[in-house]
């Protein structure tokens, strides 16, 4: 028996709706229907994500917490729980894997799926998309919006235009009617400055850009011009790539008050190193390059990196490297006396466990202690157990 012909819309983009706040609601159902804001728990922090109830008041991701509080005085601010987000993301990924062997995650809350060959098992793309949405809801309680189209650009644009809790299939014959009325800002690569230049040229919609010869766009925008021409015509040749490697794992914190004392700074650095190490182990990774990010009180930002001799997934090893990098960074800016933000990240990732050489600094007992720490936190929460230096802020 011959199979059905290949679909003309073989790319699916799945995007979980308000993922971080939705997980917080699953953890605490009393938050359902309320304006939940993840992040920004300090007056100088920033919003990481907001529920739709908070978004209608104007609260957006990356917005300063102070402004979010003015816009949404009834907002419920909660600190991010990355371990919970990762656990839910893994469960969603299991669902995605059951629909396609080629899944390209973009973040914890979104991914592309290659649907080539899916026509042999599903009668239509829309049937598969709706089945995936139902499977995610049944497995996790989360809501996912879906865009299905001939390429990544159209599929991702489709999911963004149908949120929340929707699905759209952009068929080849419908590309112009779907794409051309949209604002130029929906084209990848068009930021505020590029949009302003396009507006001065009288180009405000994607259709306006599509009607301009590619050569003209290239004269104005250089290499970006050819990209704009292709996207405005609905063309995107990039394939779905299975499991593109995660580049780094990190954590950073903007402090409610600038840090000025060494003991405060080192306390914060240890806390960040501990968070990064826990995330590495939770994801099954270790890494070799440690990077420290320092933002001073005058908003000057510097980074310093060091590649270790061996992979690391331990807070003690990461903190040791981060402390040396911090000292080097501070020495390079002797006139800067206050720190507004610190960040620690680990890159050059490989599969866990870390392939470290045994030493006094990293023995089997340290590894056992890290695993025990992880098990306690998984059962009783992140605050249940930690380093003695982190029990009481200085």
Q: What is the pLDDT of residues 132-178, one digit of tens each?
A: 999 999 999 999 999 999 999 999 999 999 999 999 999 999 999 99
Q: What is the rounded CA–CA span in Å between residue 156 and residue 175?
A: 13
Q: pTM for this one?
A: 0.69
pLDDT band at 257 (very low <50, low <70, confident <90, very high): confident
Would you state the pLDDT for residue 247? 77
> Is the pLDDT score of 58 beyond 90?
yes
Least Cα distance to 252 among 318, 343, 346, 345 occurs for 343
Q: What residue segments make up the domains of the chain, in order of their start?
A: 19-82, 180-232, 248-390
Q: Which band of pLDDT confidence, cut at 50, 70 and 90, is reported for residue 20?
A: very high
Please say if the pLDDT value at position 1 is more than 50.
no
| Alpha carbon of residue 80 to chain centroid | 13
Question: Which residues does residue 104 pair with via DSSP β-bridges, in sequence order?
Answer: 112
Half-sphere exposure of 115 (CA within 13 A, CB side): 33
Which range in 18-32, 62-76, 270-284 is most confidently predicted, on average pLDDT?
18-32
Range 75-100 average pLDDT? 92
Catalytic-residue membership of 110: yes
Q: Are 154 and 170 in contact (CB under 8 A)?
A: yes
Q: How far is Cα 191 from Cα 193, in angstroms, rounded to an integer?
A: 6
Q: Name the CATH topology of 19-82.
A: MutS, DNA mismatch repair protein, domain I (3.40.1170)
Out of 110, 215, 253, 256, the active site residue is 110
For 240-281, give the secondary structure using H, E and C. Answer: CCCCCCCCEEEEEEEEEEEECCHHHHHHHHHHHHHHHHHHHH
Evaluate if residue 283 carries a pLDDT over 80: no
Query: Quick one: which H or E segment has residue 351?
Result: strand 339-351
Pick the CATH number of 248-390 from 3.30.1490.190, 3.30.1490.100, 3.30.465.10, 3.40.50.620: 3.30.1490.100
Topology (CATH) of 180-232: DNA polymerase; domain 1 (1.10.150)
Q: What is the pLDDT of residue 377?
A: 43
Give pLDDT, residue 394.
39
**Inter-residue contact 259 to 265 (CB < 8 Å):** yes
Residue 40 has pLDDT above 90, yes or no: no
Q: Express each pLDDT in 59-80 by its tens digit.
A: 998 888 889 999 999 999 999 8
Whether the bond into 363 is cis, omega within 30 of 0: no
pLDDT digits (tens, 9 = 90+) for 355-394: 444 344 444 445 555 555 555 444 444 444 445 544 444 3
Cα 12 to Cα 114, 160, 231, 289: the distances in Å are 7, 12, 17, 34
Phi-psi region of 165 (alpha: psi -120 to 50; beta: other; left: phi over 0): left
Rg of the chain in Å (alpha carbons): 24
The mean of the pLDDT values for the chain is 87
Question: How long a stretch of residues is the chain?
Answer: 394
Return the closest-CA partner of residue 294 out of 304, 283, 302, 285.
302
């Amino acid at each position: 028996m011959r199979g059905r012909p290949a679909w003309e819309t073989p790319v699916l983009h799945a995007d979980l709706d308000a993922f971080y706040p939705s997980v917080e609601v699953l953890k605490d159902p009393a938050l359902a229907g309320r304006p939940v804001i993840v992040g920004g728990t300090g007056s100088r922090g920033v919003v990481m994500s907001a529920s739709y109830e908070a978004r209608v008041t104007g609260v957006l991701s990356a917005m300063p917490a102070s402004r979010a509080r003015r816009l949404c005085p009834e907002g419920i601010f909660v600190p991010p729980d990355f371990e919970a987000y990762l656990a839910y993301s893994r469960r969603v990924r299991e669902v995605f894997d059951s629909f396609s062997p080629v899944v390209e995650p973009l973040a914890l809350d979104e991914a592309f799926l290659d649907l080539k060959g899916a026509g042999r098992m599903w009668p239509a793309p829309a049937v598969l998309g709706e089945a995936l949405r139902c499977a995610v809801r049944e497995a996790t309680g989360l809501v996912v919006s879906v865009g299905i189209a001939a390429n990544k650009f159209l599929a991702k644009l489709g999911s963004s235009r149908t949120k929340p809790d929707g699905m759209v299939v952009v068929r080849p014959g419908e590309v112009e009617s779907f794409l051309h009325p949209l604002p130029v800002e929906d084209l990848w690569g068009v930021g505020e400055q590029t949009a302003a230049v396009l507006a001065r040229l009288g180009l405000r919609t994607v259709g306006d850009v599509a009607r301009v010869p590619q050569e003209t766009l290239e004269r104005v925008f250089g290499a970006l011009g050819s990209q704009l021409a292709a996207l405005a015509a609905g063309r995107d040749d990039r394939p779905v790539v299975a499991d593109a490697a995660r580049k780094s794992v990190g954590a950073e914190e903007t402090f409610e008050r600038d840090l000025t004392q060494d003991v405060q700074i080192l306390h914060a650095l240890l806390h960040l190193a501990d968070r990064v190490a826990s995330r590495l182990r939770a994801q099954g990774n270790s890494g070799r390059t440690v990077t420290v990010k320092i933002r001073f009180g005058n908003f000057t930002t510097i980074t310093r990196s060091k590649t270790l001799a061996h992979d690391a997934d331990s807070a003690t090893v990461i903190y040791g490297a981060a402390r040396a990098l911090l000292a080097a960074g501070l020495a390079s800016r002797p006139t800067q006396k206050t720190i507004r933000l610190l960040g620690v990240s680990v890159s050059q990732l490989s599969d866990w466990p870390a392939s470290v050489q045994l030493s006094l600094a990293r023995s089997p007992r340290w590894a056992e202690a890290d695993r025990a720490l992880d098990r306690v936190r998984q059962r009783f929460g992140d605050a249940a157990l930690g380093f003695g230096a982190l029990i009481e802020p200085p």
